[in-house]
Amino acid sequence: MADEEIIRRYSGLARRAMNGEPALDCGPRAFAEGGFGTVGYDQDDEVAVLPQGALLASLGCGNPVAVAELCGGETVLDLGSGGGIDVLLSARRVGPYGKVYGLDASADMVELARRNAAQDGVANVEFLRGGIERIPLPGRSVDVVISNCVINLSDDKAAVLAEAFRVLRPGGRFGVSDVVVDDTADPVRQAAAEQRISCAAGALGIEVYRTLLAAAGFVKVAITLTAGHGDGVHSAIVQAVKPDIGPGLEIRPMRAADAGQVLAIYQAGLDTGQAGFETTAPSWEGLDAARLPHLRYVAADTGTGEVVGWIAASAVSSRPVYAGVVEHSVYVHPGCQAHGIGRALLSAFIAAAEDAGVWTVQSGIFPENVASLSLHQALGFRVVGTRERIGRHHGTWRDVLFVERRSASTGC
């Protein structure tokens, strides 16, 4: 469905709500199995106290406010906020020291939401007009992104998720209700189901959703089906986290544009004589070919964009039996060490590896590299053996400690 058509449809529904009419967006069968509207809300304690206009324009398929576990003082963004039901509920949860933004592409929906907020006497909310593919907020400005069955309507879902990642602060949470489809769903039957419930427009497959979230930089991805609508179409709760790190920094996926800085940090590490047997960093082409594309991250300064550390992994074997075993490397700029950057990178990597179904992460560490060994042991790695005099480095035979971390959920 074209964006213009979606905006026209929801603008019409907003005008119905402003006239006091129910703004139903889904066929009767949508409500029969957990359906859409005010599903998932506590009718007595949450929804009943809201303005009637917000209830009349409730077009979601779940309760992302509850899923996001909002805390006092947090800043929240609702993508596709409609009549404002989730914004108003969020405003109550974050309290007077918190802030909630509602973003909607329909001018009529924004007007309706502002009326509802005024009627509810809520001051800590702001409604913005714009598309969820280009969020009109600065980067790292919100703690939580929520949405109630709107992302499925976008024709560029990768852009939506990338934008959600951009505006979240490190450690920020993504908690949305959405419509998803089975990865093996028959396309014809799926399209018929989407048309029947009138609420999905090209919904993502479950594994595709996971892949796009990971590509955007999210970790700890969880997709929980909440209601079935037939033919492989489901309502679902989708949760993820932006990797945490200290002030002024951000962990994000490694890009080709980072090549020069990544290789410079690599070389600086090798120059210490404690990072590995190599003496010269490879070319970007060599690093790119040897490392898995979905498990490579950088820590970057949010002000300058300078890369201050990186982590990446290689497959240990092409044999299927070792598909979940990887070997990683982590490097931090020599001027930025002892600031928790390596720990943050390794924590994010472990979470991403768990998401990817990796069951063993391994590496080799020189015994003299006490800082690296301590970091890895603090994050669950164990020394499984010593490879004595395994290789010569600058004319000296060196031992290597072989460390590994086993997943607590995959292959345990």
pLDDT digits (tens, 9 = 90+) for 308-340: 999 999 999 999 999 999 999 999 999 998 899
- Amino acid, res. 104: D
CA dihedral 138, 143, 146, 151 (to 10 degrees): 40
115 with 52: CB under 8 angstroms?
A: no
d(CA 23, CA 34): 18
Q: Tell me the average pLDDT of the chain.
A: 86
Every domain range in the chain assigned CATH 3.40.630.30: 249-406
Every domain range in the chain assigned CATH 3.40.50.150: 3-241
Query: How many C-beta atoms surround the C-beta of residue 96 within 10 A?
Result: 10
Q: How many residues does the chain have?
A: 412
d(CA 245, CA 359): 24
pLDDT at site 54: 46
pLDDT at site 338: 84
Fold topology of 3-241:
Rossmann fold (3.40.50)
Which of 31-35, 87-91, 188-192, 231-235 is predicted with the least confidence, judged by mean pLDDT?
A: 31-35
Q: What is the pLDDT confidence band of residue 32, given thresholds at 50, 70 and 90?
A: very low
**Among the listed residues 124, 37, 140, the one whose alpha carbon sits nearest the alpha carbon of residue 85:** 37
- Alpha-carbon dihedral sign for residues 365, 368, 370, 374: positive
- The residue that leads in pLDDT, 159 or 412, is 159
**Among the listed residues 189, 107, 204, 106, the one whose alpha carbon sits nearest the alpha carbon of residue 153:** 204
pLDDT of 306 > 90? The answer is yes
User: For 211-221, what is the mean pLDDT?
Assistant: 97
79 with 164: CB under 8 angstroms?
A: yes
CA dihedral 165, 169, 170, 173 (to 10 degrees): -70
Instruction: For the chain, give the percent of residues with pLDDT over 90.
Output: 68
57 with 63: CB under 8 angstroms?
A: no
pLDDT at site 29: 44
Which of 110-114, 126-130, 139-143, 212-216 is predicted with the least confidence, judged by mean pLDDT?
A: 110-114
Beta-carbon-side half-sphere exposure of residue 286 (alpha carbons within 13 Å): 6
Q: Which residue has the tokens 């924590």?
A: 347
| Structure tokens that stand for 302 in this block | 């949010």
pLDDT digits (tens, 9 = 90+) for 36-88: 444 454 544 565 555 544 444 455 566 777 777 899 999 999 999 988 889 99
d(CA 30, CA 26): 6
pLDDT at site 47: 52
User: For 221-236, what is the mean pLDDT?
Assistant: 88
CA 260 to chain centre: 27
d(CA 293, CA 255): 10
| Structure tokens that stand for 276 in this block | 């590995």
pLDDT of 379 > 70? The answer is yes
**Among the listed residues 260, 292, 290, the one whose alpha carbon sits nearest the alpha carbon of residue 278:** 290
pLDDT at site 410: 75
d(CA 53, CA 259): 52
pLDDT at site 2: 44
- Characterize the bridge pairing of strands 168-181 and 204-205: parallel
- For residue 67, what are the CA distances in angstroms to 175, 226, 238? 6, 12, 9
The H-assigned helical ranges of 19-106 are: 28-32, 52-56, 64-67, 85-94
**Among the listed residues 65, 80, 94, 101, the one whose alpha carbon sits nearest the alpha carbon of residue 13:** 80
pLDDT at site 79: 96
- Amino acid, res. 123: A
d(CA 141, CA 170): 10
pLDDT digits (tens, 9 = 90+) for 123-181: 999 999 999 999 999 999 999 999 998 998 898 999 999 999 999 999 999 999 998 98
- Alpha-carbon dihedral sign for residues 214, 220, 225, 226: negative
DSSP single-letter state for residue 353: H
- For residue 53, what are the CA distances in angstroms to 18, 22, 44, 339, 400? 6, 9, 17, 50, 67
43 with 236: CB under 8 angstroms?
A: no
Question: Which residues fall within 8 angstroms of residue 285, CB to CB, at 6 or more apart?
Answer: none
Candidate CATH numbers 3.40.630.30, 1.10.10.10, 3.30.530.20, 3.40.50.300; the one for domain 249-406: 3.40.630.30
Query: How many C-beta atoms surround the C-beta of residue 357 within 10 A?
Result: 12
d(CA 260, CA 265): 9
Q: Which residue has the tokens 């609508």?
A: 229
Q: What is the pLDDT confidence band of residue 388, given thresholds at 50, 70 and 90?
A: very high
pLDDT of 33 > 50? The answer is no
